Structure 1
């Protein structure tokens, strides 16, 4: 059976392209399992993940034929939510490069990323209530953190689908690029991340996602680790040397 992902390694990053063209990249159990394997790789060998689609589609949603057969125990198992939480918790940043449809589970996968870039033909939202279910893989809480409660409720309860410009205005995505420029733009962002100290990036991501009540203690503890790192001394010395030479 063919893989539902196309994986490409590059320096400091891994590109995972969803590749089920016959189903508009709908997320099925096989894709979930393969994305778990990607996570296991990135947990062992931390690097930036670029998630993208294929054939002008990111992910049209969950596989409805498969979803139709799921029952209570499947919901309680959190098949998609467990995966998306694992993706959100990866050590290094996750970039979602979104083209065409990013709907339902596809939108929730995008919400789990740290960065979202889009194309002019992006359409993103959560139409689950129209199918008699709710978006249970992160949208009910991640979306209001990303765009605010009023717009999140319109998306979740009234089925509003955002265009690329609307998503940009809401800061759900941060950049719009022509389809042929989307993946290069994601790589350019990954390049900027790669220029930072990897340990500082990992720790900053963890601190950023810590609960409010953990601050400022967690910031101070994290900084105490970085203050002892070789990279801190080396990078600061290079900065001072450049300043002295200018």
Structure 2
């Protein structure tokens, strides 16, 4: 490996995640189909390893499930066999919540591609992502109170932020399981795609993010998650950093050069069609050729 190449994650010893890594993203596939991708201690340890890698070498992360019994599944929840044996000390350590919070705070966005069941800890893993795409077969919810516990890995506060208090309480206190359309209607899914197209859609979203300036994306994610009282001061500080970046000058100059070239190529009558500079800029921005 040359000094300019980014190290790749050593996942040779992983047993619960299948890892695919490229220059700008990591795809981690939950792979315990025999127990419907139940999240156990080994999977948590491997998620920590993924986070450690991405904290040092920021890339996009796509999380997805696998098939179980011929049907797609994201994660059926925490491993009940292990969960039953956990006591006070494990709860205070926040076994799952620590990993999911670490994942939520990764420098670059996380995309969860959901198929089939995303329940309990599986749903909480999805809530920690920045984007959630699903299939029509998705069933997502928090059945923990039916087992005599609470969803302590983020759902008790993330759900209210994501969907509002009313539906959050139905999910958390009444055990309501949402289908894909309900999750989409309540803003818990960004989009729904046929199962055969789910990963392509996740990669297409990752492609759109990858076209943006990585530093601007990283800073936007950090500022977005800060409390209201930190704004607008934190916005001003973040913008001050970006105003001095080379990418800002290069991308803005490229945009101006393209607009100048496009305007120079118009006939006089076309150039005076009454459209303002803002109209031309909006047209260019929506053409897929963003700066």
TM-score by length of 2: 0.84
The aligned residue for residue 31 of structure 1 is 43
The answer to whether residue 234 in structure 2 is matched with residue 218 in structure 1 is: yes
Q: Structure 2: how far apart are the matches of 1:3 and 1:221?
A: 43
The residue number in structure 2 matching 1:49 is 61
For residues 162 and 22 of structure 1, the distance between their equivalents in structure 2, rounded to whole angstroms, comes to 24
**Residue 63 of structure 2 corresponds to residue 76 of structure 1:** no
CA shift digits 1:179-207 (9 cap, x unpaired): 11000000000000000000000000000
- Write the distance in 2 (CA, Å) between the matches of 1:64 and 1:164: 25
Match for residue 110 of structure 2 among 88, 94, 109: 94
Could you say if the C-alpha distance between residues 128 and 234 of structure 1 is closer, same or farther in structure 2, counting changes exceeding 3 Å? same
How far apart in 2 are the matches of 1:192 and 1:172?
20
Is residue 75–residue 117 contact of structure 2 (8 Å, CA) maintained in 1?
A: yes
Structure 2 counterpart SS, 1:27: coil
**Structure 2 unaligned regions, length at least 5:** 1-12, 263-291
Structure 1 equivalent of residue 166 of structure 2: 150
Computing the radius of gyration from Cα coordinates, the structure with the larger value is 2
- Distance (whole Å) between structure 2 residues aligned to residue 2 and residue 14 of structure 1: 14
Shift of 1:78: 0.2
Question: 1:10, CA displacement in angstroms?
Answer: 2.3
TM-score, structure 1 as length reference: 0.99
Higher RCO (CA 8 Å, separation ≥ 6 residues): 1
Partner of 1:169: 185
Residue 29 (structure 2) pairs with residue 13 (structure 1): no
Where structure 1 has 5 or more consecutive residues not aligned to the other structure, the ranges are none
1:193 maps onto 2:205 in alignment: no
Q: Secondary structure at the match of 1:17?
A: strand
> 2:64 & 2:132 partners in 1: Cα distance?
10
Q: CA deviation at 1:230?
A: 0.1
| Cα 1:128–1:34 shift into 2, 3 Å | same
What residue in structure 2 maps to residue 126 of structure 1? 142
8 Å Cα contact 2:17/2:31 also seen in 1 = yes
Residue 110 (1) aligns with residue 126 (2): yes
Q: Secondary structure at the match of 2:27?
A: strand
Matches of 1:225 and 1:147, distance apart in 2: 33
- What is the CA-CA distance between 1:174 and the residue it aligns to? 1.1
Number of equivalenced pairs: 246
Q: 1:86 to 1:206 in 2, by over 3 A?
A: same
Alignment partners' CA distance in 2, 1:2 and 1:193: 28
Shift of 1:11: 3.1
Give the root-mean-square deviation of aligned CA atoms: 0.8
Q: 2:197 aligns with which of 149, 170, 181?
A: 181
